[in-house]
Amino acid sequence: METVVINATSRKTSGTTASGQLRREGKVPCVLYSSEGNVPFCADPAELRNLLYTPKFKVAEIKLDDTVHRCILKEVQNHPVTDQVIHVDFLKLVKGKKVKVDVPVVLTGAAVGVKSGGKLVQRIRTVKVRSSSENIIPELYLDVSQLDLGQTLRVRDIQPVSGVEIINPGSTPVVGVEIPRALKSGMAEEAKEAVKK
């Protein structure tokens, strides 16, 4: 599991005014949620970059007051106009306790339908899973090798991992091979010719 280390600073005050002041100073207000209580802190945007701007799922190690907290992202708030990150919530990982996280679905293999002229279309790129903090995985895999023209693979087809439960409905489409219009026309013509014979 890839880990991002974040050097953070405690903040004694919270609320809209305090958060606004931190943003003016170029800091991002954050909160660490845990069963032991919520801890407000702040961090430089550069410290958060490798965690926020990546399609990969990563765990954060927040260094705060000589203590390291192993966490995952809970929620990110962006400015509605500038899209700038204005607040980040983290959830502390506790050994043995289950958490829900979104992990990427990685496609493996080369679909036979693409070799026949079809177009591979991935409909969802992440799925929500439930697992203990020790069993958190960075990604799940789906083999598309046997996927032919007009076929679809669903959540139930994702390679299972012991200790990890996928929450999305099993019938949810993940990826399919679409038949291009030109290819459809050609196939229709071939079918007509076959009928005539």
Q: How many CB atoms lie within 10 A of CB 177?
A: 23
* Residue range 114-151, pLDDT digits in tens: 998 889 999 999 999 999 988 889 999 999 999 999 99
Model confidence at 186, pLDDT cuts 50, 70, 90, reads low
Q: Output phi, psi for 17, to 5 deg.
A: -65, -45
**What pLDDT, on a 0 to 100 scale, did the predictor assign at position 61?**
95
Domains in the chain (CATH in brackets) are 3-94 (2.40.240.10), 99-196 (2.170.120.20)
pLDDT-based confidence at 96, cuts 50/70/90?
A: confident
51 or 18: which leads in pLDDT = 51
Q: Is residue 154 left, alpha or beta, with left meaning phi > 0 and alpha meaning psi from -120 to 50?
A: beta
- Model confidence at 173, pLDDT cuts 50, 70, 90, reads very high
Q: What is the mean pLDDT of the chain?
A: 88
Count the neighbouring beta carbons within 10 Å of the beta carbon of residue 61. Answer: 13
Mean pLDDT, range 24-35, rounded to an integer: 89
Residue type, 5: V
Would you state the pLDDT for residue 190? 61
Query: What is the pLDDT, as a whole number, of residue 79?
Result: 85
Q: What percent of the chain has pLDDT over 90?
A: 61
